[in-house]
Amino acid sequence: MTRPRVKVCCIGSIEEAKAAMDAGASALGLVGQMPSGPGVIGDELIHRIAGAVPPPVSTFLLTSETSATDIIRHYKKVYTSVIQLVDKPEAGAYEALRRELPYVKLVQVIHVSDHNSLNEATEAAAFVDALLLDSGNPGLPVKVLGGTGRTHNWEISREITRSVTVPVFLAGGLHSGNVKQAIEAVQPYGLDLCSGVRTNGKLDAVKLKAFFEAIDI
């Protein structure tokens, strides 16, 4: 089994970006305005961090916008290499994003809850460069779109990775103690995590090292 790529999310400073890259991260997540969650930073800071990251490492803007116009407006404040859509986009948005931003990679988050998530994933996979399976709940009065620290049903996630041809990242409650089991269960292309490598909201070098050691297979 090859080692999955790792995206360290909720990066809050250039120092955190460097620490994550030094530990072995292939990608960094930069969380824009969200209805809730612990990892949100301002667009000006996202732009600065993205500008400081060298080319082999991807920078993901996490946006909760759902219309193409608003997603493009958000992107044009930060200029990351990837846009991660954490909510379901409006009809026609993927096509408009491809037309307007043909050089930007798109990642769609699927909040895995039940077997409908498989349909949602296969539909989205036709339009994007990768999927990211997470544990949020967009159905709540105040939407929860990530950063929950909770795992979800990995059997459904495994079904999704088997069914789609695009790369799949697994997220939601991953940490050094459960990541090996998660890789075996889901066999994802990549892993994404936020709270599992943080203490009191700050990136924790000890947890980060333990996480990369745990996936050193």
Ligand X SMILES: O=C(O)c1ccccc1NCC(=O)[C@H](O)[C@H](O)COP(=O)(O)O
User: Interface residues with ligand X (CB under 6 A)?
Assistant: 9-10, 29, 31, 34, 37-40, 62, 86, 134, 145-149, 171-174, 192-196
92 vs 205 by CB, closer to ligand X: 205
What is the distance between the alpha carbons of residues 133 and 101, in angstroms, rounded to a whole number? 24
100 vs 167 by CB, closer to ligand X: 167
We find the least distance from the C-beta atom of residue 99 to ligand X, in angstroms, to be 26
What is the distance between the alpha carbons of residues 66 and 69, in angstroms, rounded to a whole number? 9
We find the least distance from the C-beta atom of residue 150 to ligand X, in angstroms, to be 6
We find the least distance from the C-beta atom of residue 91 to ligand X, in angstroms, to be 22
We find the least distance from the C-beta atom of residue 37 to ligand X, in angstroms, to be 2
81 vs 100 by CB, closer to ligand X: 81
What is the distance between the alpha carbons of residues 170 and 6, in angstroms, rounded to a whole number? 10
First CA to last CA across the chain, in angstroms?
A: 8
Contacts of 87 (CB under 8 A, 6+ apart): 64, 65, 66, 109, 138, 143, 145
SS3 assignment, position 40: strand
Whether residue 53 contacts residue 11, with contact meaning beta carbons closer than 8 Å, is answered with no
What are the phi and psi torsion angles at 159 (to 5°)?
Answer: -60, -40
110 vs 145 by CB, closer to ligand X: 145
CB atoms within 10 A of CB 36: 15
We find the least distance from the C-beta atom of residue 179 to ligand X, in angstroms, to be 11
102 vs 214 by CB, closer to ligand X: 214
We find the least distance from the C-beta atom of residue 31 to ligand X, in angstroms, to be 5
> In this structure, is the dihedral angle defined by the CA atoms of residues 50, 53, 56 and 62, taken in order, positive or negative?
negative
47 vs 207 by CB, closer to ligand X: 207
Whether residue 105 contacts residue 81, with contact meaning beta carbons closer than 8 Å, is answered with yes
